[in-house]
Amino acid sequence: MNSPVHAQSFRVPKPFASGNWGGLSVIGKQAFFGLCSHRVDENVTLCVYEDGTPAVRRLPALDDILAPEAGAVAHGKIHTPFRVIGRRAYFGTHLGYYRRDLQGRRPYPGGHLVCIHLDDDLRLEDLGILQPGEGIISLEVDAEREQVYLFTWPRTDLLRYDCRTGEVRHLGNFRHSDTSDTCCRAPVFVDGHLLFCTGDGAVHAWSRDQECFRRFDRDMQSVVLEAALRQGWSLPEDLAPASAADIPAVAQALAAQPGWSRLYHPAIADAGQSAALVLTNTSSCLLRLHPRTGRIDPVEQVCIAANRGRYDVGTSTSLTLTRTPDGRLYHIGTELFGAADDPKIRARLVRYDPVRQEVADLGRIRTDDGREVIYLQTLDHFPDGRLVGAGLVDLPHTQHAAFLATTPAKVDVGIRAQTNPYEMRLLVIDPVQALS
């Protein structure tokens, strides 16, 4: 068993918030993130932590932007990263309450596109609701042309906002059915193309110059299955192809199943290759996507030691991938234990060294006050390579009653909060010193 990875932790304004669903980014020495809520009447809380300071700050200006919509379904989440154009950072709001019963409130008004003026005391500017009734589920920018690309939910519309003119253009719709179509945290802009995936496992590229879409010839599940077969992975009986010739049929069967396992989550530009690096939710496979050729190259399985060599469509991963200045990639793996149908979980730090082509499971993460990290939902890094994330730490028994009184939402798909009582913290990890 590895020694624990040590993390410096900071308390947040709402310790029993419903998580941090993708909305954390480091800009210079500041980490911006949202504390989410699944309540019908509670908006997301915008926070910032400045490196070297003792505490996380709340930015109440977002409350003022959202206040006029009191009485409607709340903006429970920031589900997007914070992306920079010049000295402005852009993010979107999203709903956190998904039930049909609106509890007497008006329907969700639609997500706001918001700009943070980084050189003006973090002043917030409301750019408005770009599509009424639709939340903003993911976002990316073309900094050169000062344009913001964003996907909406539930329609899965792709919109482009021009920061110079304020023009909003509808580029396409990617909804296929009633479930599993979200382009969830997936867009990345690289080599003049916007890359993203849909819930059927397909990868798409929008060409900025040609202004057209291209669907890659192969889907992600086929690529992962082929790598699994070639490398002799352990496959479930109902998914095990007898040979490479059977892969298309097996991949088609997978496409009919619920779609979370076919998405990739964070994506980062791999500029030296004119490509993007993405990590799949199925089996934690690192893939390289080439927008101009439509090629998908498997790189490595970046996961905890217990899942190496396994094809896993369960909750074995988290929404995390970042590359530090030394070129190494870091990911948060999820260790499950206890009852199979109601597991407990713990976060583990995983590192991939592309030069040595080595994956290392560095161990469970523990805070400076001795608390184990249950789940780390986001990961970025400061300029010096220290990792930053917002996540859940285990809760002492004396605080369980207060936590359960908030009627907490799930930790993640298939992971009950009642089995994993938590409070939220901001965590800073030095990957060099963490293991010493």
**C-alpha to C-alpha distance for 77 and 90, rounded to whole angstroms:** 15
Among the residues of 196-283, which ranges form H helices?
Answer: 220-231, 247-255
Where do the structural domains in the chain lie, given as residue ranges?
A: 22-185
Tens digit of pLDDT for each residue in 52-66?
Answer: 999 999 999 999 999
| CA dist 167 → 201, 351, 368, 407 (Å) | 31, 41, 48, 41
> Which residue's structure tokens are 């713990």?
346
Tens digit of pLDDT for each residue in 65-115?
Answer: 999 999 999 999 999 999 999 999 999 999 999 999 999 999 999 999 999
| pLDDT given at position 282 | 78
| pLDDT given at position 5 | 94
Asked if residue 325 has a cis previous peptide bond (ω within 30° of 0), the answer is: no
SS3 261: helix
Single-letter amino acid code for the residue at 336 = L
**C-alpha to C-alpha distance for 428 and 431, rounded to whole angstroms:** 10
**C-alpha to C-alpha distance for 56 and 11, rounded to whole angstroms:** 7
Tens digit of pLDDT for each residue in 124-150?
Answer: 999 999 999 999 999 999 999 999 999
For the segment 262-272, the average pLDDT, to the nearest whole number, is: 77
Class of the domain covering 22-185: mainly beta
First to last CA, the chain: 15
Tens digit of pLDDT for each residue in 385-416?
Answer: 999 999 999 999 999 999 999 888 888 777 89
**C-alpha to C-alpha distance for 43 and 403, rounded to whole angstroms:** 19
Closest CA to 379 of 350, 359, 353: 350
Residue 208 has pLDDT above 90, yes or no: yes
